[in-house]
Amino acid sequence: MRLLSDLTTTWWRESSPEADLSCPCCGTHDFLQRKVLWQNLIDAWQLSPYEVDYVNRQQGLVCRACGVNLRTGALAKAIMGGFSFAHLFRDFVTNAKFQHLRVLEINVAGQLTQYLSKLPHHTLIEYPQADMQNLAFADGAFDLVVHSDTLEHIPRPVRALSECARVLRPGGFCTFTIPMIVDRLTRSREGLPPSYHGSAKNPEDCRVITEYGADAWKDVFLAGFRECRIVASYYPAALALIGVK
């Protein structure tokens, strides 16, 4: 019997996910692939070759026109799906139907900020001035909370998600991405050598606390959301989650 991971590897090698790819934000079909993973991180994360390949695509396949990568493109699709909008994200943020939305963006969500900031009631907060585990907003203050590749660095991710739920109105959405290795289960890096994503003036800001896997949805329910949706833009490279309050 072939393992699921073997089947996934075969599918990924035989397919060409970017063959008909268009940017969900601006509609461009022109993409640039950059290599983003380095060997120390590959070793710490214990990634297989096919996992290295799809994470490099997730983070490094970039729209030449607006700079959105697969990761943030999945986030844009998830946001539009939550509000039943089936066009480009650049049209979503200027559509009169959505100008009332109160949006909280926690840390810069890659190149998606250039679009989100067009919404009149957009608020951006960033670490370390803001603590996702203790948000300084009233209950029900927002219609949408957005964050991207942040949760894995937070000591208490369920607490952080519960704060996202608290500041949402009933029926509101928390839409986010996390680096997810789809053929594994989530694990804490407690007791393991330090692992870091990206770079910063203070490397500890990029330290990984949680390595997320296929059971990442559990944190959404543990945080108090009534529904969790997983949106696959390009599986397994581009996934986003939606917590519905």
Q: What is the pLDDT of residues 117-170, one digit of tens each?
A: 999 999 999 999 999 999 999 999 999 999 999 999 999 999 999 999 999 999
Question: So what's the pLDDT on residue 205?
Answer: 59
Note the pTM of the prediction, 2 decimals: 0.91
Indicate which CATH number applies to the domain containing 160.
3.40.50
pLDDT digits (tens, 9 = 90+) for 69-121: 999 999 999 999 999 999 999 999 999 999 999 999 999 999 999 999 999 99
| Half-sphere exposure in the Cβ direction for 81 (13 Å, CA) | 20
Looking at the domain assignment, is residue 174 inside a domain?
Answer: yes
Angle at 31 between CA 68 and CA 200, to 5 degrees: 45
Reduced to 3 states (helix: H, G, I; strand: E, B; else coil), residue 220 is helix
pLDDT digits (tens, 9 = 90+) for 14-58: 444 555 789 999 999 999 999 999 999 999 999 999 999 999 999
Of 87, 100, 61, 117, the residue nearest 237 (C-alpha): 61
Distance CA 160, CA 151 (A): 8
Of 145, 108, 116, the residue nearest 241 (C-alpha): 145
Residue 126 structure tokens: 């960033």
Looking at the domain assignment, is residue 64 inside a domain?
Answer: no
Looking at the domain assignment, is residue 4 inside a domain?
Answer: no
Looking at the domain assignment, is residue 9 inside a domain?
Answer: no
Looking at the domain assignment, is residue 10 inside a domain?
Answer: no
Of 34, 27, 103, the residue nearest 66 (C-alpha): 27
Looking at the domain assignment, is residue 53 inside a domain?
Answer: no
Structural domain boundaries, residue 125: 70-244
Distance CA 164, CA 174 (A): 7
Residue 98 structure tokens: 């959505």
Q: How many domains are contained in the chain?
A: 1
End-to-end Cα, the chain, rounded Å: 41
- CA 221 to chain centroid, in Å, comes to 17
Which helix or strand (DSSP H or E) is residue 71 part of? Answer: helix 70-82
**Is the CB of residue 209 less than 8 Å from the CB of residue 216?**
no
In order of 108, 116, 128, 182, 211, the CA distances from 156 in angstroms are 20, 26, 15, 22, 13
Looking at the domain assignment, is residue 96 inside a domain?
Answer: yes
